[in-house]
Chain A
Amino acid sequence: MTVATTTPQTNAAPPAAAARDWGGSSYPSQIWVLTGRSMQALKDKRMLIMSVVQPLIMLTLFSQVFKGMAFAPGFPQGVDYIDYLMPAILVTTGSQSAMWAGAGLATDLKNGALARFRTLPISMYSLLTARSVFDAVRNTIQLSLLLVGAVVLFGFNPAGGVFGTLAALLLALIVGWGLSWLFMALGTWVRNLEVMQMIGMVAVFPLMFASNAFAPVESMPGWLQAIASVNPLSYAIDGSRSLALGDLDAGPILWALLISGIIASGGALAAGRGIRKP
């Protein structure tokens, strides 16, 4: 009897009640679910392989072409060029990859996936955070593979040992993560993959070379020295290098962290505004 009376009641519940029961999702679960969505892109191994092969090629070329730098003024004594170069490659590769967070967002905005998210009761910051989390994960995989390649193929073996190297990797990841917010902001305003890639090239490439990545600043002409010494990437590279080479120098590390924090906050504000534009 009791069963007979309760069953029709549950059946009679209006379908609208079901969604109300779900009750919306918390910020962490929004970020978790949206990061999971982005992770689908990792299933396409080609992108990941290319993203490791490209810096390996750069590493090959630079380690051979710029070998003579080891005799340049300001070059640290008794350090192999590969050990000098690799921490810088970590930072520049991480910075270049930051562009992909912006490119992914621009694609979402273009193909309509974001139009759907806008009509859902979720925070747009969850979406941005999910992008940056995914980007950090992808970047970690990419830089770790690159590091393994450098050890195996080029005998990268800096004085800082495993811990120094991992710390250098971590700093490169943080710098890349900070920049990813800047590129996401750009992505929400530009909304065009091709233009994004152009800007990425134009912005990052000169910063890469007008820095201490490949050669000591002291070996450069005066005007380039001036640029290189205010280039934020130089701080990150100096910091990463000091960690890897076991010659700890807190100054540039702190500067790199501070600048990354400022870039991330500014980027987050701009991206939060930009993503709401129709």
Chain B
Amino acid sequence: MTDLMIDAADVSKAFGDVKALDGVSLQVPKGTVTGLLGHNGAGKTTLVNLLTTVLPLDAGGATVAGHDVTTDGHEVRSRIGLTGQFASVDEQLTGLHNLVLIARLLGASRRQAADRASELLELFDLAAAADRKVDTYSGGMKRRLDLAASLVGHPDVVFLDEPTTGLDPTSRLGLWEIVEKLVDDGTTVLLTTQYLEEADRLADSITVLSNGQVVAAGTAAELKADIGQRTVAITLAEAAAAPEALAALRRAGFSPIHDEGRRAMTIPVDAANALAAVVRALDDANAEVAELALHEPTLDDVYLTLTHQAAA
């Protein structure tokens, strides 16, 4: 038996002329959380759809829980749970009925299904709403029920596609705790997210996707050390001074990152004494600085650096 619960090699998928994924490889060891980072349209959801057998892949190959997604989809589907970006629950049924239905389809007896459903409703704090139709649920309740629905069959691999989008901070924390508990029990999790804080907290390793390709992979610490840099964050007093300040910084050998029209800019720096050089360059440009701060690398920097590189 392999230790890899997800093993994708050179996976590609196109929608018409648009290449959603272009030669993506991903390996997720058992009992770990891998965070899939990327902006909208980077290919995160497409990759999840391929790995969960919702979509067929065009090229490459992938196994999930040791089963080929192309030839053994049925077996894959009996080992996974998926929580997508939109709640996949039947709004005309009660919360309880939704979970019982899934358990029954997975082969549970009536009794087993009812037990599992109540257990999950309890875990997700939905017991009080168990007998209400889902169309009366709030958005957060629907997402919790959706997550519960993906866990009914005790899946080996759980796919969470932006699970906390639209959740309030308390619910988000609660969900993080549930994910941590799942992993403690040996479940493998693939998590897509746009929240770097979420990836930093939950993910053992992180894969960054951009335009359908993997641009970086490693632990959060590795990525920060390799790609993330100390940065100097500057806010100018006036946006009009930005072009001149940027020119002066570039002459001084820096590569400032700046969105046009904004007062703020970020300057990756290597040496500790670079701060003085930055200040001198800004002084040369006669740019009035409203705010200046030295930042240790964060996942945000890693992400921004990578996606800016990829876009360039």
Contacts and interface: CB of A to CB of B under 8 A. Distances in A.
Nearest to B81: A119
Contacts of A30: 105
A111 to B, nearest CB: 6
Contacts of B92: 40-41
Which of the listed residues B53, B101, B105, B155 has the most CB atoms from chain A within 10 Å of its own CB? Answer: B105
Contact of B112 (A22, A116, A120): A22
A122 interface: yes
B240 interface: no
B87 interface: yes
Interface in B81-121: 81-82, 84, 86-93, 97, 101-108, 112, 116
Nearest to A26: B107
A116 B88 contact: yes
A64 interface: no
B186 interface: yes
B93 A37 contact: yes
Looking at chain A's contact residues, is the secondary structure mostly helix, strand, loop, or mixed? helix
B289 to A, nearest CB: 50
Given A14-B186, A16-B154, A22-B112, A112 B87 contact: yes
Given A30-B105, A121-B106, A113 B89 contact: yes
Interface stretch (B72-80, B163-171, B204-212, B258-266): B72-80
A227 to B, nearest CB: 40
B102 A116 contact: yes
Contacts of B80: 119
A247 B101 CA distance: 48
B55 interface: yes
Nearest to A14: B186
A150 interface: no
20 contacts: A14-B186, A17-B154, A19-B153, A19-B154, A22-B103, A22-B112, A25-B107, A33-B101, A37-B97, A37-B101, A41-B92, A108-B90, A112-B84, A117-B105, A119-B53, A119-B81, A120-B105, A121-B78, A121-B106, A122-B105
Contacts of B101: 33, 37
Interface in A10-31: 14-19, 22-25, 29-30
Looking at chain B's contact residues, is the secondary structure mostly helix, strand, loop, or mixed? loop
A278 interface: yes
Given A16-B155, A122-B105, 14 more contacts: A22-B153, A23-B107, A24-B78, A24-B106, A37-B97, A40-B93, A112-B88, A113-B89, A115-B86, A119-B52, A119-B53, A119-B77, A119-B81, A121-B77
B13 to A, nearest CB: 11
B98 to A, nearest CB: 8
Bin chain B's interface residue count.
35 or more
B106 A15 contact: no
A95 to B, nearest CB: 25
Contact of B107 (A14, A24, A41, A119): A24
Bin chain A's interface residue count.
20 to 34
A35 to B, nearest CB: 11
Interface string A119-136: 111100000000000000
A30 B52 CA distance: 20
Interface string B106-142: 1110001000100000000000000000000000000
A273 interface: no
